[in-house]
Amino acid sequence: MLVREQVWLEKELLKRKFTNIDALDASEEILKEAEKKGVYKNCFVGVLGPNQRLQLADSCYDAAIAVGVFTLNHVKAEGAMDEMARVVKSGGLVCFTIREDVMFEPEYGYQDKMDELCRGESLEACIAEQGTVPQQE
């Protein structure tokens, strides 16, 4: 919640008038910082990963966005991408960044999980774009 990517995401969402936004992170400390920003309606502690079910109903969000989460030494695909897809409504958006250097590392399972979710119709389409988060002005 503290670094450049998150600040960029918050700015972009607010610019587009999205104000009904919740935050989820495994760290209570990080969420305390997030609460102070006044951007998020609810802040939940939740762990993404294998055999971890978020305390959230199916299809309860229009979109789930993760930046800086699927990255080196952080969250692998198994369970995490599944849960993001589960909590988003049909026709909604599941968006995440994946750091380039681990994108195709089998240990992280990103490509296989995206393929699996698309095959199973949990995700309708995966659009991959290569890029970087812009520098803050």
Ligand X SMILES: C[S@@+](CC[C@H](N)C(=O)[O-])C[C@H]1O[C@@H](n2cnc3c(N)ncnc32)[C@H](O)[C@@H]1O
Q: Closest distance between ligand X and the C-beta of residue 133, in Å? A: 8
Distance (Å, rounded) from C-alpha 81 to C-alpha 109?
10
**Which range, of 1-9, 11-19, 98-106, 119-127, touches ligand X by CB under 6 A?**
1-9
* CA separation for the pair 17, 19 (Å, rounded): 6
CB 99, min distance to ligand X, A = 10
The single residue among 74, 92, 99, 102 that binds ligand X, judged by CB under 6 A, is 74
| Greatest alpha-carbon span in the chain | 41
x/- binding map, residues 32-61, to ligand X, per CB under 6 A? ---------------xxx------------
Instruction: Tell me which of 54, 64, 69, 117 binds ligand X, using CB under 6 A.
Output: 69
List the one residue from 54, 64, 75, 87 that touches ligand X (CB under 6 A). Answer: 75
**Is residue 67 part of the contact set for ligand X (CB under 6 A)?**
yes
The dihedral formed by the CA atoms of 40, 75, 56 and 15, expressed in degrees to the nearest 10: 30
Residue 4, helix vs strand vs coil: helix
Q: Which stretch of DSSP H or E encloses residue 51? A: none
